[in-house]
Amino acid sequence: MAEFGSRPPAPPEPDWAIPEEPAPSRRRPRRRGTRGQGGGGQRRLLVWGIAAVVAIVVAVVVVVLVVPGSKPAPVTPGSLITTFLPGEIQKVPSACPSVPSSTLSTYLPGKTKQAAPPALDGALDSQCDWTLDQRPTYRLLQLDIRAYTPSGLASGTGSATFAAIDAYASAMQEKQDPAPNTGAPKGQVTVIKGLGTAAFTATQVYQVGGAVTDVATTVIRYRNVLVTVVLNGLDKSNNGHYGPVSMSELSAGSQAVARAAFAPVGK
């Protein structure tokens, strides 16, 4: 008899509750496609199916990436451009022959001296200067055609176009509000619409000692290129042998030369 409070022994399990393990020799081979495959077979089918889908997706992506003539992938936000983009200019026209003699004779009437400073950036830059020194007229015309390159210091993506945009904004700022250490006077800046991508003209009057020099500047930006023209006129000299100068004529000459030099760039 069991003691009080103890659990009675469990009754023996019936024979039908104990699975019978067949002898190895009596096992029948399982047929493919039958329920005998169990969970392992279903898992294998699932893995094979996923692998097949992944292979198809990868194949489609590879085909899309290598199809000739497909559009280039967009630039990743925040990445820097280190090469020229399509449409950006890598060679500028020569500055000296870009200005017609008729234009020069109109705004520099007389015998001029022409000088072409050596290019600092090879095909990316070309400069030309014309000087007229015939009393009472003194004129100095300076032309610079420069193509900018990609730069990690530029704004935006650092592309050549962004570098030119920064240079254009800096040139305008220098005319509107020049740094005190430059000694340059504030200029009157006017935006020119319909010329290049962006353009402006500025006039300044320099007074050094008893001499007065009028300066007219025109800057045109097109993509990654800046065309800069500066036309100086001695309005009053210390010895009184030069002057006077018409500022409106200098401004018109600066714009005319800039338009002529821009013509081959904007083609």
Please write the tens of the pLDDT for every residue from 180-209.
988 899 999 999 999 999 999 999 999 998
- Phi, psi dihedral angles at 39 (to 5 degrees): -65, -35
Given pLDDT bands bounded at 50, 70 and 90, which one contains residue 78? low
Residue 82 in domain: no
DSSP strands (E only) in the chain: 112-115, 125-134, 137-147, 188-191, 198-208, 211-222, 225-236
Neighbours of 109 (CB within 10 A): 12
- Supply the pTM of this predicted model: 0.71
CA distance 234 to 212: 6
Tell me what pLDDT residue 120 has: 79
HSE value, Cβ hemisphere, 13 Å, CA-based, for 87: 5
CATH number at residue 186: 3.40.1000
Residue 208 in domain: yes
pLDDT digits (tens, 9 = 90+) for 231-253: 999 999 988 899 999 999 999 99
148: its two tokens: 């900018």
Instruction: Tell whether the model's pLDDT for residue 22 goes beyond 90.
Output: no
Q: What is the CA radius of gyration of the chain?
A: 41
Please, which contacts does 99-103 make with residues 24 or more away whose CB atoms are closer than 8 Å?
Answer: 99/128, 99/143, 99/257, 99/260, 99/261, 100/260, 103/256, 103/257, 103/260
Given pLDDT bands bounded at 50, 70 and 90, which one contains residue 14? very low
Tell me what pLDDT residue 79 has: 79
Look-up: residue for tokens 């002529």?
A: 260
**In one letter, which amino acid is 75?**
V
Given pLDDT bands bounded at 50, 70 and 90, which one contains residue 255? very high
Residue 168 in domain: yes
Tell me what pLDDT residue 77 has: 54
255: containing domain: 96-262
Residue 56 in domain: no
Tell me what pLDDT residue 76 has: 52
Tell me what pLDDT residue 11 has: 40
Q: Assign residue 121 a region: left if phi > 0, alpha if psi is -120 to 50, beta otherwise? A: alpha
Q: How many domains does the chain have?
A: 1
Tell me what pLDDT residue 239 has: 85
Collapsing DSSP to helix, strand or coil, 217 comes out as strand
Residues 258, 220: contact at Cβ < 8 Å?
yes
CA distance 5 to 2: 8
For the residues of 51-108, what is the DSSP string, one character each? HHHHHHHHHHHHHHHH-TTPPPPPPPTTPPP-SPPTT--S-PPPSGGGS-HHHHHHHS
pLDDT: which is higher, 39 or 93:
93
Instruction: Tell whether the model's pLDDT for residue 26 goes beyond 70.
Output: no
Tell me what pLDDT residue 13 has: 39
CA distance 164 to 88: 11
Task: Identify the bridge partners of residue 137 per DSSP, sorted by sequence position.
Answer: 134
Beta strand pairing call for 112-115 and 137-147: unpaired
Residue 50 in domain: no
Mean pLDDT of the chain: 79
Residue 19 in domain: no
In the predicted model, what is the mean pLDDT of residues 105-113?
Answer: 95
